[in-house]
Structure 1
Amino acid sequence: MDRKVIITAESTCDLTADILQGLNIPIIPMYVNIEEVSYKDGVNIQPDVIFTTFETKGILAKTSAIPVYDYKLFFEKYIEQNYEIVHISLGSKFSSTYQGAVNASNMLEHVRVVDSGNLSTGYGHTVMLAAEMARDGKSPEEILTELSHFIPKVKASFVIDTLNYLHKGGRCSSVAALGANLLQLKPCIEVVDGEMKVAKKYRGNLERTLKSYIDDKLADLNKIHPKRIFITHSSCSDEMVEMVKNAIEQKEYFQEIIVTKAGCTISCHCGPNTLGILYYDL
């Protein structure tokens, strides 16, 4: 009997429950550690807990990779249901999760692992495309070929409101964090060749910064695919998210604008009031 194709992913893809259910995408959660306690991202911990713990105790949650054994159990569940698995992983330069998934797949048959080269809904774009192809009856080989062309086209970036979380996590100096806060600098972090880089620093309040950021990123719509764009954020106000959505709608270009909340991985590193627009080029 022919095996059906199923796309699996990690919680870091930040897709909504409706999308995951509608496209039949099983998720394996990342681990989040606070002091001596380990949690599963999106299962028994949400970003609000991370923010509250940091603000009240000064303790920053840390993410950890999924063990190979967890992957093996996860994959076996769907192999037993007669599925051919294409697992798409968080970018390999961000975490060892990709290698863990590969190691587990080497113990099994019927599993292929893809490096998304990205994070959050930049990674989610790839997961959605693969799941749509699986739904439409494409083979694993056809999906892998398409993804090899698609992954380099994905554009992921975020504006960060405060550098406190990056500083606490050892990703920027105390001088840089203090200076940025005093000068109201909002860095734009961009994924370039599978790694996070500072693309630009905006100056001013978050609302003004986000308007400039949207105009900069969407300045040349002729290069961008109109199918869908994500607005992904960590605990931004409804008003702020609506302002960003309205600014994109005024471009009258995208067929679908999807708002999602960032999970624990982005939240641990970037903190609250982080927002990004994520799309892909033609």
Structure 2
Amino acid sequence: MEKIKIITDSTADLPEYIIKKYDIEVLHLFINFGDKSYRDGVDIDIHTLLDKMEKSDIFPVTAQVNPQTFLECYTSYINQGYKIVSIHLSSKMSGTYQSACIAKEMLETEDIIVIDSMNVTSGLGLQVIKAAKLKDSGFTAKEIESGVKEISTHIRSTLFFNSLDNLVKGGRLSRASGIIGSVLGIKIIVAVKDGEVAVIDKVRGSKRALRNMIEYIDKKSVKKGETAILLHVGETDILNALRENLEARKVDFIECEVGCAVGVHSGAGACGLFFVENY
């Protein structure tokens, strides 16, 4: 059986128990806050970050994992006889995937497979979990790559934000979408589509937003045998209602908290669901 290591980056936002359970290697993006730099989830947590953002006029920026970090990580595992499956956030959102590709090219080996998830946060997390489960089931690195790519195009998301300010400031949403979301109680539902954050609906009020999200989940239908991820940071009402709905329908899901690299853009008070649709 092949000796395989699954590697991802900190934007996968996976809880520590999942990382330990599947022995996943996580490389950390950086949060640059003024003249200080923090490793996502290591030197700073999401609650500290949000508190700092609330008290500061400085808007932090995120920095990709650099090629040298990948090179050192890959070299270590290759020297131990591993084959590597390395899965990372969308190349349309960060240069992290490109850094991984550069490191692979420098090592001139076919024992490293680098996958562009075309997703972020729990959409990436779902692909990492899929890879880890396939690895534990004895599949080869190439078979893991095929399994991950098979579900990647079927990952759906529906996400609610109390405020779109940070998405606009961070360049993830247009200013026009942000303005719409701040007037007349209009709530914008967003999702990750084609590797980028996109508006999928506009509704009035939180209750309608919740109905919209549940209707979307019902329409797409969560694929049996695949884990869904309920993602949140600070949100309560919609989070609790989504959780109750998933439990009532006996959907297999785990809960994850947004990490710092993603939290810079989400701000406080956000939640949603990532899942593999029935196909």
Q: Same fold (TM over 0.5)?
A: yes
Question: How far apart, in 2, do the equivalents of 1:167 and 1:143 lie?
Answer: 36
Aligned partner of 2:193: which letter? V
Contact 1:225 1:280 survives alignment (8 Å): yes
Indicate the percent of aligned positions where both proteins have the same amino acid: 27
Question: How far apart, in 2, do the equivalents of 1:257 and 1:139 lie?
Answer: 26
Q: Secondary structure at the match of 1:15?
A: coil
Equivalent pairs, count: 275
- Alignment-derived partner of residue 217 in structure 1: 216
- Alignment-derived partner of residue 31 in structure 2: 32
Worse-matched range after superposition: 63-72 or 177-186: 177-186
Structure-2 change in CA distance of 1:217 and 1:179 (3 Å): closer
Task: For residues 141-176 of structure 1, give each alpha carbon's deviation from its aligned partner in whole angstroms, at most 9, with x where no partner exists.
Answer: 111122222210111231111022123334556675
Question: How far apart, in 2, do the equivalents of 1:3 and 1:180 lie?
Answer: 50
- Alignment-derived partner of residue 56 in structure 1: 55
Q: Secondary structure at the match of 2:106?
A: coil
Contact 1:50 1:61 survives alignment (8 Å): no
Contact 2:239 2:272 survives alignment (8 Å): no
Q: How does 1:132-147 map to 2 (within 5 A)?
A: 132-147=133-148
Query: Normalising by the residue count of structure 2, what TM-score does the alignment of the two structures yield?
Result: 0.91
Q: Secondary structure at the match of 1:182?
A: coil
Question: How far apart, in 2, do the equivalents of 1:172 and 1:25 lie?
Answer: 31
Q: How does 1:1-282 map to 2 (within 5 A)?
A: 3-108=2-107, 109=109, 110-171=111-172, 177-205=178-206, 208-220=207-219, 223-227=221-225, 228-237=227-236, 240-252=238-250, 254=251, 256-281=252-277, 282=279
Query: Normalising by the residue count of structure 1, what TM-score does the alignment of the two structures yield?
Result: 0.90
Question: How far apart, in 1, do the equivalents of 2:10 and 2:101 lie?
Answer: 17
Question: How far apart, in 1, do the equivalents of 2:74 and 2:168 lie?
Answer: 37
| Structure 1 unmatched ranges of 5 or more | none
Q: Secondary structure at the match of 1:225?
A: coil
Aligned partner of 2:103: which letter? A
CA RMSD of aligned residues (A): 2.0
Contact 1:156 1:190 survives alignment (8 Å): yes
Question: How far apart, in 2, do the equivalents of 1:38 and 1:264 lie?
Answer: 12
Worse-matched range after superposition: 172-181 or 137-146: 172-181
Q: Secondary structure at the match of 1:45?
A: coil
Worse-matched range after superposition: 163-172 or 185-194: 163-172
Question: How far apart, in 2, do the equivalents of 1:273 and 1:174 lie?
Answer: 19
Aligned partner of 1:192: which letter? K
Contact 1:6 1:84 survives alignment (8 Å): yes
